[in-house]
Amino acid sequence: MGGLSLVCGECGAHLKTVEEAQEHAELTSHSHFSESTEAVLNLVCTSCGKPCRSKAESDLHTKRTGHTEFTDKTLEEAKPIDLESAPKVPLVPGDSSEATASGSTAPEDMVVPEVNKELLKELESMGFPTARAMRALHFSGNSTLEAAVNWIVEHESDMDIDQMPMVPVTRVESIKPSLTPEEAKAKAQELRERARKKKDEEEKKMEREKEKERIRVGKELLEAKRIEEENERKRILALRKAEKDEEKRAREKIRQKLEEDKAERRRKLGLPPEDPVTVRPATSVVQEKKSSLPVRPASKAEQMRDCLRSLKHNHKDDDAKVKRAFQTLLTYVGNIAKNPNEEKFRKIRLSNPSFQDRVGSLKGGIEFLELCGFVRTEDSEYLFLSVEKVDMAILNTAGSELNSAIVNPFFGVL
């Protein structure tokens, strides 16, 4: 038995004619073909007339369209392969050239079917190739633009999707457009309007989703800001409580020291110690009467701390300038503590531009230096600290207060 098909030796594809083998070689660069006695299937759908070359292709067509009835015409058209010459299939209606070698007249009876030219133009304007558009119109019944588009979507993976459809000459006259040009235009306008509405709905839906996302992000930012403010408030309260506890412990130590000094003086004078039971009511009365007045003079450290707080409060709009003033004061105090005998560190010209810019122009800067022991000269030209009045304890206290004011981010906010 002669060969009924050509099989590709590299991918195993079965090809019906020599022309198909040539096209396959051009597309895939495969060059090894051999004859096969197995014919390529020709299963024709009885519902829409689509030819299927294999069982897998017919199953896929059934899955997409629901068409289950096929006519097997494989044996009717199975003819031996002619390797000498290949018949040429006419690509346009009316081309009746005959095969020169094989003598077969089958290709002469196949022509391009007539389709609705208005629908064809619509499909071409939508970007579809001419062959694909004509194939869609032919196999969808040449009825409506929507049916043709649906057919293209369903068959876009077909291998022959971009091949020009061919039908026998006897079927050409039976294929007539079912819609007039006016009806086709109306249908096309309807499809365009439907597509526009669908696009508008998708854009509105996307905009709603974006708005929901913006609202969600906004809520998250507000919640994060609220949590941050709450944490900041808690830190400030904790810092204020710690400062109050520190002041309370300092007052208690001073009170105990005063009690000890008082007891020591009574002992030196030969007086008996005070009875706590008899002294307590008098103390409470005094405290009650003087509750609105300071019970003790402020210590040097507290005076320095209050001075620095006042300086920061008076210039709260310029944190950088306040911090620079604190660092400059710390430098003055540190230089004196390291070199107490150097007069240049203990003498400051009040009219010095650098001093005025950093410390002198800020309310509270000169007052802090005076708490450290500096005094104005008689001509008010200098701030001077005599070597006899250099007190290391006061300088250390001043350095500690300045360092605390620099490193503590909440200093002066209470």
- The residue whose two tokens read 């230096």 is 369
CA distances from residue 192 to 147, 152, 187, 244 in whole angstroms, order as listed: 14, 17, 9, 78
pLDDT at 413 (0 to 100): 62
Assess contact for 132 and 165: CB atoms under 8 A: no
Compute the half-sphere exposure of residue 234: CA atoms within 13 Å on the CB side of its CA.
6
CA distances from residue 160 to 84, 273, 298, 398 in whole angstroms, order as listed: 25, 120, 101, 94
- Dihedral angle computed from the Cα positions of residues 71, 77, 83 and 87, in that order, rounded to the nearest 10 degrees: -100
> Angle at CA 147, nearest 5°, toward 144 and 149?
110
Q: Which residues, including other chains, have CB under 8 Å from residue 319's CB and lie 6 or more apart?
A: none
pLDDT at 102 (0 to 100): 41
pLDDT at 27 (0 to 100): 75
Assess contact for 115 and 137: CB atoms under 8 A: yes
pLDDT at 252 (0 to 100): 93
pLDDT at 139 (0 to 100): 85
| Backbone region of residue 247 per phi and psi (left: phi > 0; alpha: psi in -120 to 50; beta: other values) | alpha
Q: Which residues, including other chains, have CB under 8 Å from residue 35's CB and lie 6 or more apart?
A: 2, 3, 5, 6, 7, 81, 83
CA distances from residue 339 to 213, 343, 346 in whole angstroms, order as listed: 65, 9, 9
What is the identity of the amino acid at 41? Answer: L
pLDDT at 35 (0 to 100): 79
Listed in sequence order, the DSSP H helices in 176-299 are 181-268, 276-289
pLDDT at 176 (0 to 100): 46
pLDDT less than 70: residues of the chain: 1-4, 76-109, 169-180, 184, 275-298, 412-414
> Angle at CA 139, nearest 5°, toward 137 and 141?
70
Report DSSP letters for 371-384, one per residue. HTT-EE-TTSSEEE
What the chain holds in terms of domains, given with CATH numbers, is 5-86 (no CATH), 117-196 (1.10.8), 200-289 (no CATH), 301-407 (1.20.58.2190)
pLDDT at 2 (0 to 100): 54
pLDDT at 86 (0 to 100): 43
pLDDT at 92 (0 to 100): 40
- The residue whose two tokens read 């009365």 is 285
| Residue 119 burial class via C-beta count within 10 angstroms: exposed 0-12, middle 13-18, buried 19 and up | buried
Q: Which residues, including other chains, have CB under 8 Å from residue 150's CB and lie 6 or more apart?
A: 140
- The residue whose two tokens read 């020599």 is 18
Measured distance CA(65)–CA(47) in Å, rounded: 10
Q: Which residues, including other chains, have CB under 8 Å from residue 398's CB and lie 6 or more apart?
A: 304, 329, 333, 368, 371, 372
pLDDT at 289 (0 to 100): 45
pLDDT at 22 (0 to 100): 82
Measured distance CA(348)–CA(340) in Å, rounded: 14
pLDDT at 276 (0 to 100): 60
Question: Is the sign of the CA dihedral 310, 316, 322, 326 positive or negative?
Answer: positive
| Residue 14 burial class via C-beta count within 10 angstroms: exposed 0-12, middle 13-18, buried 19 and up | middle
Tokens encoding 159: 């291998």
